[in-house]
Structure 1
Amino acid sequence: MAVPGPAPIPVPASTPASAPASSVGPLLRDWRRRRRISQLDLALRADSSARHISFVETGRSRPSEEMVLRLAEHLDVPVRERNALLLAAGYAPRYTETTLDDPAMDVLREGLTELLRAYEPYPAVIVDGTYTVVAANRGIALLMEGLPEHLLAPPLNVMRITLHPEGLAPRILNLPEWRGHLLDQMKRQLALSRSPALRELYDEVAAYPVPPSGSLTPADGAPCPVLPGFALPLRIGHDGHALSFLSTIATFNTPMDVTVAELAMETFLPADPATAKYLASVTT
């Protein structure tokens, strides 16, 4: 059956910026504690003093706009939350949030579509900060064949599609390990983000009942190959074959826009020759 080409990039649902606190001090203190950094260590990194950091956190001193951004940089605060820090300190947001259908994003959209197409026949998908699908290629469409319509209705969400008991979960041959990997990934993201939408998504997918893993032969019917031990593979069934992938995630370096900062491209590289051969045969 023919698989459609890369999906056009729609506009992901935007997440409102975090509501600013009464002052920037408590927010900065919270981020510092999340990172488990002492006031002295933060002061040394930001070329300041522990006394000044203490005064900022307790509200006795109002940091300059430059200092807010410097502290946010050393605390690895996400771009969206840096705007919240600036607002809490009484400054205008520094980072724009441009929707993907804006003409200014034309080059970006075209580039992402080309990346997805170039990776075929291997699966690749682009998601936003809450794992909503922005675009996907034919390799991803192949893996999602036969899923129920309610999971494929927009907006598609990769965590929901993957972990739902009616989604890909029953097809994943190493589901306990892969499910644990995905939930740990979301936990790490939650430690970096104050997103209520992400927390709600995590609570939803973590509560899904876990169906039993399947059992299939490799894609060419040969004995199961020894998979690489340096990374956890995704092992998933398709049309009676067992496919194995290694995944990578790429993000934009030093983004200056909230939308761009929250985009991530996940690619799935065949972990054995049989998987590569099978994908080539079914997508040509």
Structure 2
Amino acid sequence: MAENSIDPTFGRFLRFWRGVHKFSQEELSHRLNSSPRHISRLENGSSRPSEAMIEDIAEAMQMGDRDRNHLRIAAGYSPQQQRIDFHAPEFKWLRKAMLLTLRAMDPYPTTLMDSAGTILMVNRAWVGFYSATIPAAQLDKVTNHFDFLFSRQGAGTILSGWEDTLSMIVMSLKQDAMFNESPDKLAALDQLLNNPNVPSDWAQRASRLEPMASFRVQADYQGALRRFYSVSQIVGALGPAAYLSEPKLTISTLYPEDDTLDVSALAEGPLEHPLLLY
């Protein structure tokens, strides 16, 4: 791209959506109280839209949050995330799908959390895994996945070797929060930064590591230190805004590294927890 020229990505998006709605440049400019010449300059990359112009275009084309954010990203602006209530009536189908998913993950300990780390659901194996060492009254009060993992009263009592992993999680939350400064994400970040287990050099540690959705941890299981894979899967939108669109859910699962380690008993017997919904 030539020096001082503008990235043409936004122009490609604008031309595409004009075609979807069968708007000519003249018609779109009329709807935006602009000029066909300005629309042409936006499309050929010789002019960059303001944020207000992007919002006007999105309104004119009746775009949802996903496609509005694609326009913002294409023009070089941060996306705007709207907080979505996972428990709202319109997401009954999603809750059922996530419930079936967590049930299918038994006997491997699994949680479902939102973008701020709030735990929404757990499976039977999760309750069985942690209830062996954490009193039920304490386990029942768990609300945030990250806080629980590194708390010396929570999972931190049995998990070890998390210094680099914790640094990466803090870095991920920090950069995610910088996109839109969501109050929920900022609160989760502040709480995690105040955790005494966070290394003082977390930023330097994380800067030397590439983020991965999977990593290895050690856990005390049946009286012995065992290695597990911690695997996270993102449940979100497709496309460029996949990791920025709400509801952005994460399924986090522990798998034993040793194929011969039998964990089937974790999901057996009478198990109760406020977030165990089956």
Alignment partner, residue 97 of structure 2: 111
117-126 or 180-189, which deviates more: 180-189
Q: Structure 1 residues 170 and 152 mapped into 2: Cα distance closer, same or farther (>3 Å)?
A: closer
Structure 2: which amino acid aligns with 1:264? T
Deviation of the 1:126 alpha carbon: 0.7
Structure 1: which amino acid aligns with 2:263? L
Q: Structure 1 residues 63 and 42 mapped into 2: Cα distance closer, same or farther (>3 Å)?
A: farther
Alignment partner, residue 219 of structure 2: 236
Unaligned 5+ residue runs, structure 1?
A: 1-37, 84-95, 213-229
Alignment partner, residue 197 of structure 2: 210
Quick one: which of 14, 38, 46 aligns to 2:13? 46
Alignment partner, residue 144 of structure 1: 130
What SS is found at the alignment partner of 1:202?
helix
Q: Structure 1 residues 203 and 185 mapped into 2: Cα distance closer, same or farther (>3 Å)?
A: same
1:268-279 aligned within 5 A: 268-274=254-260, 277-279=261-263
| Partner Cα distance (1:61, 1:235) in 2 | 48
Structure 2: which amino acid aligns with 1:108? L
What SS is found at the alignment partner of 2:231?
strand
TM-score (norm 1): 0.60
Deviation of the 1:122 alpha carbon: 0.5
What SS is found at the alignment partner of 1:189?
helix
Check whether the contact 1:128–1:262 (CA below 8 A) recurs between aligned residues: yes
Deviation of the 1:279 alpha carbon: 1.0
TM-score (norm 2): 0.61
Q: CA RMSD in A?
A: 3.8
Q: Structure 1 residues 155 and 60 mapped into 2: Cα distance closer, same or farther (>3 Å)?
A: same
1:154-173 aligned within 5 A: 154=141, 156-173=143-160
Alignment partner, residue 114 of structure 2: 128
What SS is found at the alignment partner of 1:264?
strand
Q: Which has the larger radius of gyration?
A: 2
Deviation of the 1:159 alpha carbon: 0.8
Q: Structure 1 residues 64 and 174 mapped into 2: Cα distance closer, same or farther (>3 Å)?
A: same
Structure 2: which amino acid aligns with 1:72? R
Quick one: which of 147, 155, 161 aligns to 1:174? 161
Structure 2: which amino acid aligns with 1:129? S
Deviation of the 1:82 alpha carbon: 5.2
Deviation of the 1:162 alpha carbon: 0.8
Identity over aligned residues, as a percent? 16
Deviation of the 1:233 alpha carbon: 0.8
Alignment partner, residue 15 of structure 1: none
| Partner Cα distance (2:229, 2:167) in 1 | 16
Unaligned 5+ residue runs, structure 2?
A: 15-42, 200-212, 269-278
| Partner Cα distance (1:240, 1:155) in 2 | 23
Quick one: which of 229, 253, 275 aligns to 1:267? 253
Q: Structure 1 residues 97 and 170 mapped into 2: Cα distance closer, same or farther (>3 Å)?
A: closer
105-114 or 151-160, which deviates more: 151-160
Check whether the contact 1:128–1:263 (CA below 8 A) recurs between aligned residues: yes
Q: Structure 1 residues 248 and 238 mapped into 2: Cα distance closer, same or farther (>3 Å)?
A: same
How far does the alpha carbon of each residue in 1:49-104 deviate from its partner, in whole angstroms, 9 at most, with x for none?
545425x25x68974224982513536965xx255xxxxxxxxxxxx9455251x3
Residue 64 (str. 1) matches residue 57 (str. 2): yes
Q: Structure 1 residues 82 and 173 mapped into 2: Cα distance closer, same or farther (>3 Å)?
A: closer
Structure 2: which amino acid aligns with 1:253? A
Q: Structure 1 residues 234 and 41 mapped into 2: Cα distance closer, same or farther (>3 Å)?
A: farther
